[in-house]
Every structure is written in structure tokens, then in C-alpha cells.
Amino acid sequence: MVSALFLIIYNEYYRYRLRGIKVRNSYHFSPAKGWINDPNGTVYVDGEYHLFYQYYPNDIVWGPMHWGHATSRDLMNWQEREIALAPDENGFIFSGSAVIDTDNLSGFGTKEKPAMILMYTNHDPNGNVERQSIAYSTDYVHFTKYEGNPVIDNDPKSDGYKKDFRDPKMFKNEYLGGYSVVFASGSMIEFYHTNDFKNWEKTGEFYPGENGGFDDLCECPDLLEFDCEGEKKYVLTMSCNIDDENKNREHMKFFMQYFVGQFDGKCFVADSDMKERGPLYIDYGPDNYAAVSFSNHKDNVLIGWAENWCYINDIPEKEYRGAMTLPRKVSLVKTKQGLRLSFGVFVTDCHALLKDSFTMKPFDKKSFCDGKIVLETNGNMLTIIRDNTCLKYKSGMLDKAKYQKFSAERVSDGDCGVEIVYDNRLVEIFADGGLLTFTLRID
């Protein structure tokens, strides 16, 4: 009887420190049951953060995608809401975004009570066709799909048909008025514009492969605006799915890259030195994907999916599978190697987190998490080594060079400051003032 009780307590603790069913205190959000992957529709309104996410409520493996929905006032305590969007005659509900229509351009609300507009990809699994649709709500809980969907078509019989045309991220357009949206379209990024959310016009294209980045499948793009020492700059982020792991990046198939540049209201243009610098990474660890920002917020705050497609399905779970990263505030800073993103944990009460801070010399070595993680500094390189006892459910199947050792070049000189946030099976590492981040599972 004592052993059975111990197992119940242990299993409940093992679940990312979650408690309860509908309201939980959690460092990393996960659902009470079912499968989740990409965060969607991240938006801040009336003092509340809304997190929508790719969700399959009927199993702990990927299935017909819904939009799950959770809200929080401090980004640590989350309340699950009812499912926001379910599959329909147009297909599954893939990734997308949300904005608050403060000027009532859509006519779905009023200026006193503006509508929340969701834009998402309808994925028809039978014909592998992806189109863009919208839904709206004035109570921000119950959503109505627009009767004129899809608002951006993608006819498979036309010359303009696009495979992998998805993940719309909307944002307010201060140059043209109205709103713009950035899409992933195969190996390129596309921009569209609207004045009413129902009629969209294409305004530009961006090719990562022609600007120092990777030219494989793009997913979940986002456009962030920064004031960098009085200069307005834009950063285009995106997730990448490398078709051939060995041709581009030695140790990961799924990761995120970003570009620094300008936006003229129609399209993003990368700074000229991007080609020389090569790709820049959001996270150098294996377990941060599809991160997007909260719209309608004064700061750039990103949250991602804290998992990896290479082994997520092998994680031994019973009720749920998948979790989000901690929300991170993003800054754009000047370094000796040019402009770089810097990340820091963004929650109301950072003191509540289990974390550790220390400084490493240029040639130093430290271990933590009972030796499961080792940090090494070798001159200007920082390396994270995940012990081979981690991911034991994939023992003998993962290439150690790709999923156990992760290195990043420092852009700062001298000692390396490190902050580590622990949450049982997830570890988030912030080094050099947040210029280098690593997110790793250690189960």
C-alpha cells in the first residue's frame, strides 16, 4: 500500500510539476489530457494572456488537429478553456494567430468591445491542400467561424497552388494601415495585407536561402519590431524542418532561425550582412520549436513547443503528451558580431522558479541535474552535453552527435554568465546575458 501511494505521488510530481485538473501551478504549460504541439493565437488582452495550441483531445499522439485554449494572468498559473476550434468540412485546424480588432475593421465587434480574430490554416488531409480561414469572438472564449472561409484560397488545380502553405501570423501594419500576415510557403516566406480580414492581397516574398539561412521547409514565421538604441529594426523568425539533416546542420533536424532587417509595409528585407554571417538561431538546444510572440503586448514575448519531433512520440506518457517553453522576453542588442536577439524568462514571479546562476571561465566545466547535463567553455565556444542516460526510451536509436551534444559560438568575451531554470524534465539555459539559450529534456 505504501509503494502504491509512492508511485501515485511520484507520477504526479513527474508531470512538469503540475497539480490539479483545470487550474494548475506550472512552470511549463501542458494540457490535462491529450496531445499538444505548436503554440497558436498567442495574444494579450484585458490583463490576460491567451494561449491557443495545436491539440488532439482524444489521444496522446498527433491526430486531427483542434485549437486548444488556456488563459493566464501571470504566465505561470494556467486555466484550460473549452476547445476553441474543431475540424470542419474544410479540414483540420492547423497553426495560426490571433489579434484584437481594436478598430473593428472586420465588423465582427465594436470599438467598445473589439473582436478577437483568429486566423488559421485549414488542412485537408485527403488532398493535402492548405487554405487560410478566420474565426472571431467578442467574449474571447466562444468562437464563430467566418461563413466566407477560406479567406485565402489555394486551388490545387491552379498554377498558383502551393504545397505546405500554412501558419499565418497576423500583425498590425503601421505603414499601410490594416493588418498584414506572414506565411510559411514551402522554402519561402510570403506576406499578405488586408483592411477587413476577409480580403487579402499578396505584397511580398522572402527567401531564407538567399539571405544566409537554410532553404528547407519553413514553418511558423513571426515578425517582431524593436527599438534598438533609437533605431527601428525588424526581426523575422521561423522554424525549419531540414529535409536532409546532414547537408545543412550537423546535429539537428528541427530548429529555429532568424533574420535582422527592415519592413516597409509590404515585405521584409534582411540586412546586407546577413548573408555573410550565416544563420542565426533562436535556441541552440533540441527542444524549442514553433515559438511565436504574444500580439497586442508592449514587449516581444515568445513561447515555443518544448519538444522535438524526432522523439516526442516515444515519450512514455499516459494522459497527455507535450509542453510549452517558459515565456521569454526578447530584446535586440548590439554585439561585436552585429545585432543579436537576447532572451530572458518573462513571468510575473521569477523568484518562484527553481533556478541557479553562476559564472564560467573561458576554459571551464560544470555539471548539474545529477550529472545529466555538462557545460563546457572552450575559448569562445559553449557546449552542452546531455548524458546518454537521458532519453532512455530512445536508447541506442539517437545519434549522439545530433541529440546529445550542442555547441554555440559566444559573441561576448571573458567570463560566461549562466542562468539555469529547472522544471523536473525540462531545463532551460540562458548564457551570456541571454544571447545563447539551450532548451533540453533530461528524462
Catalytic residues: 38
Cα dihedral 72/73/76/78 (nearest 10): -20
What is the C-alpha to C-alpha distance for residues 173 and 181, in angstroms, rounded to an integer?
9
Residue-wise DSSP of 213-228: S--SEEEEEEEEEEEE
How open is the CA angle 125-206-151, to the nearest 5 degrees?
45
Q: What burial class does residue 325 get, using C-beta atoms within 10 Å of its C-beta: 0-12 exposed, 13-18 middle, 19+ buried? A: buried
Shortest CA distance to 49 belongs to which of 437, 439, 346, 430? Answer: 346
In 255-311, alpha helices (H): 274-277
Closest residue by Cα to residue 292 from 280, 305, 307, 308:
305
389: left (phi over 0), alpha (psi -120 to 50) or beta: alpha
Please tell me the distance from the alpha carbon of residue 27 to that of residue 388, in angstroms, as a whole number.
25
Q: Are 200 and 194 in contact (CB under 8 A)?
A: yes
3-class DSSP assignment, residue 425 = coil
Distance CA 261, CA 233 (A): 6
Q: Which three cell numbers stand for residue 336?
A: 561585436
Q: CA torsion, points 372, 378, 383, 388, in degrees to nearest 10? A: -40
